[in-house]
Chain A
Amino acid sequence: MEELASLFHGFGVVLAPFNLVLMMVGITLGVLIGVLPGLGGANGVAILLPLTFAMPPASAIIMLSCIYWGALFGGAITSILFNIPGEPWSVATTFDGHPMAQQGRAGEALAGAFTSSFIGAFFAVVLITFLAPLIAGFALRFGPPEFFAVQFLTFCSFVGMGRGSAFKTIAAMMLGFALAAVGLDTVTGQLRMTFGTTELLRGFDFLIAVIGLFGIGEILLSMEEGLSFKGGQARLNATVVFETWKKLPRYWATFVRGALIGCWMGITPGGATPASFMSYGIAKRMSKDGAKFGKGQLEGVIAPETAAHAAGTSALLPMITLGIPGSPTAAVLLGGLLIWGLQPGPLLFVEQKDFVWGLIASMYLGNIAGLIVVLTCVPLFAAILRIPFSVIAPVIVVICAVGAFTVHNAVFDVYLMLVFGVLGYIFKKLDYPLSPLVLALVLGDMAESAFRQSMLMSGGSLSIFWSNWLVASIIALGLALLLWPVVAWLVGAVRRTQQPAAST
């Protein structure tokens, strides 16, 4: 119960009026940052970092981490309303969130997304409060083979997601891998597929591709389909939040799975984006309504949002205890710790009690405050869809362009975004799925590095992937998920042959 005493001490730190104000400022800024695609949590925190210089470290981390919570909440808003993921981890939220908005259920989707974000985060914070030192050690078991295994598992849980042709899914995924390979190869230090151009040196950023494929592609489609938003005529009421809450308890299993996947991916550290994809993939397989996923299932919003927020929160744990950032934003916060003169690591819990427990307490309060802020705004957000398309579409295009520019401060990326927009439109027209492309683009690079690091370590032998129980069991789980359709089909086939035999 020592943790509880420390936690209450932490609450004392956060509840100082100055810190409370900073918390609210942080949440509001964070939601804005989350809404703007491209200006991710990492950029937002990095820009504001020097401003926190004159503050005590505890106040500074409270404000910056609240920006992060705000961004985690805010990412869902544009995903659901306009099919534009405000943050990488809300890509999976678009799959069902946007169809829901098109059916006039934007309020329900938003309320569901925010509530599940909160539940995911809350689960992770409780975990951090009581099990931090225990779990921190677990992250140390992860070397390159284990990382590859986790990424392999993410791919496997997601394969078979695309409806329709398996060939089209594979084609989209391969295109994603090819795009991910452009730029500098970390393992050999060689440039790949840049064809001597300066612009291609930095490779294809996942965010720019996503803004183009989803945002611009969606605008192009809407233009073709009659210059209006579907779902704009839905009735609006203030009680939508409570109506949604009534539906949520029946999805308890999805919440638990999402939170577990999220915490696991945040700690190991796989990150919030893969966590949201993995959670969506697994929810689709496990749900009895799996076939309806992608057409506007509330469960398809809950799964990725719970996991993303749980991962985003638990990513701070390896940062504090080990100094390894579990996400890009955590990496910037880590830089902040050093600038404030704090040394992350196991001793932080002993030497900087105010700081650590203030941070943990701000996770509780920041998330509660964030939830209240965003939930009260749900009808407001949903009303945006009522603005005429001809007014809002140019605004969206401008926001997308600004977002694409912000990622690397490069004008070339704005053109690139437009190209991706056309590509997204063509993909939709030809009925190619976008999600495998996006998944390959975000994970391809990481998976490749981890695989090749493993190969370097083992001298080229694949046996490194079953050299210990941890990596072997993750790989086995991945293979099981990958082969599940085949296994299910085989079992079915065996039954079918047995049944006639039994009946005669």
Chain B
Amino acid sequence: MKRFLLRSGISAGVFAAVAMLAAATTPAAAWEPTRQVTIIVPAGTGGGADQMARFIQGVVSKHNLMSRPLVVINKAGAAGAEGFLEVKGNKGDPHTLIITLSNLFTTPLSSGVPFNWKDLTPVAMLALDEFVLWVNNDAPYKTAKDYLTAVKNGQPGEFKMGGTGSKQEDQIITVALEKVTGKKFTYVPYKGGGEVAVQLVGNHINSSVNNPIEAVAHWRGGKLRPLCVFDEKRMPYKDKMTETMSWNDIPTCHESGVDVDYLMLRGMFMPAGVKQEQVDYYIDLFKKVRATPEWADYMEKGAYNQSFMTGKEYRDWLEKAEKRHYELMKEAGFLAKSN
């Protein structure tokens, strides 16, 4: 390992010298990857982050956007901590990227594993994932208000909320809803969002806060009913998904008098200590990916919030999101002892 570092140190030195020479002769030759680039997915195969990473890999190779190969590997151990720790350890490596979900904030807070987004270099926010409150189509509740009133009037723990993982985004939203109703849900953690949606179809739980893409098939099949979306604005997609409704027809939770909103980051990071021109290369790459028709189609299928941020704007967003997660999780009692 040491020898490898040494060698890569030398080659980096040579590279820098060559680059300087090049810079002296031709004006600003932009940085490009010199070997294979790896996207680490801090989650299992088949999940939302994994899909997005592999989708980007597909788009990049189809449109020849990069001269070097792009590979995707999963490091899902301990709610993603494994992947984050690896990137944290790869200081200065411009050939590693990591795609994050909310576990960027929740995992270190709940498990005490030592990492923070500040240990990484933020590259770009690719999109934000929406959360929708779903109930079974056979349930009598037509609006978020109906449902939450029923929860309020029920016994504590009478209503079961299913979600992905423990002390992660789904449970954070559940706790926020509990603050509104003043009644506890019985939160049942599952391994993946697809499983949660099916459990709701089978009436094993009363509600879920699935991402659109996880539940859309069951909505279209007439098995699930969306009550409200946890965003400040409605989703913009106006194509009819069922006979009568489009994503745009789902009211926001605020409209239904439930003041809860939550969006999940789908963002890219690099290890710390990389050069700005290297970051710029990837920002440019993701801009090209976002310009493809496939991306537009993918965003619509998953009803994503298409916010794109880089640089300071992105950092500020992260700063705010981290603070918010800390507060929400502290209130819920989800913080690990070391925090």
Q: Which A residues fall within an 8 A CB radius of B?
A: 42-43, 46, 49-51, 53-54, 139-144, 183-191, 194, 198, 201-203, 322-325, 328, 331-332, 334-335, 338-339, 341, 343-348, 408-409, 449, 453, 456-457, 459
Contact B218 A323 (CB under 8 A): yes
Contact A142 B202 (CB under 8 A): yes
Neighbouring A residues of B142 by C-beta, 8 Å:
none
Given known contacts A53-B59, A345-B218, A335 and B166 CB-to-CB distance under 8 angstroms = no
Neighbouring B residues of A42 by C-beta, 8 Å:
45
A335→B51 CA distance, assembly (Å)? 6
* Contact among A46, A142, A456 with B45 in the assembled complex (CB-CB below 8 Å): A46
Closest Cβ–Cβ distance, residue B70 to chain A (whole Å): 8
User: B165 at interface (Cβ–Cβ under 8 A)?
Assistant: yes
Contact A324 B198 (CB under 8 A): yes
Rank and list the top 6 A-B pairs by shortest CB-CB distance, nearest first: A202-B77, A345-B217, A143-B204, A331-B46, A189-B166, A53-B58
Contact B189 A187 (CB under 8 A): yes
Return the CB mask of B153-185 against A: 1 if under 8 Å, else 0. 000010010000111100000000000000000
Closest Cβ–Cβ distance, residue A242 to chain B (whole Å): 41
Neighbouring A residues of B55 by C-beta, 8 Å:
339
Return the CB mask of B106-119 against A: 1 if under 8 Å, else 0. 00001111000000
Given known contacts A323-B197, A332-B45, A335-B46, A201 and B58 CB-to-CB distance under 8 angstroms = no
Given known contacts A332-B46, A453-B188, A53 and B61 CB-to-CB distance under 8 angstroms = yes
Contact B79 A189 (CB under 8 A): yes
User: B54 at interface (Cβ–Cβ under 8 A)?
Assistant: yes
Contact B85 A198 (CB under 8 A): yes
Most chain A Cβ neighbours within 10 Å, of B187, B220, B302? B220
Contact B190 A334 (CB under 8 A): no
Neighbouring B residues of A334 by C-beta, 8 Å:
46, 194
Return the CB mask of B193-205 against A: 1 if under 8 Å, else 0. 0110111011010
A189→B167 CA distance, assembly (Å)? 6
* Contact among B77, B189, B220, B297 with A201 in the assembled complex (CB-CB below 8 Å): B77
Neighbouring A residues of B334 by C-beta, 8 Å:
189
Given known contacts A343-B301, A345-B221, A50 and B113 CB-to-CB distance under 8 angstroms = no
User: B73 at interface (Cβ–Cβ under 8 A)?
Assistant: yes
User: B232 at interface (Cβ–Cβ under 8 A)?
Assistant: no
Neighbouring A residues of B266 by C-beta, 8 Å:
none
Contact B61 A347 (CB under 8 A): no
Given known contacts A191-B113, A341-B297, A345-B218, A202 and B45 CB-to-CB distance under 8 angstroms = no
Closest Cβ–Cβ distance, residue B111 to chain A (whole Å): 5
Neighbouring A residues of B194 by C-beta, 8 Å:
323-325, 334
Closest Cβ–Cβ distance, residue A203 to chain B (whole Å): 7
Neighbouring B residues of A328 by C-beta, 8 Å:
45-46
Closest Cβ–Cβ distance, residue A350 to chain B (whole Å): 10
Return the CB mask of B82-118 against A: 1 if under 8 Å, else 0. 1001000000000000000000000000111100000
Contact B75 A459 (CB under 8 A): no
Name the interface residues of B293-315: CB closer than 8 Å to any CB of A: 297-298, 301-302
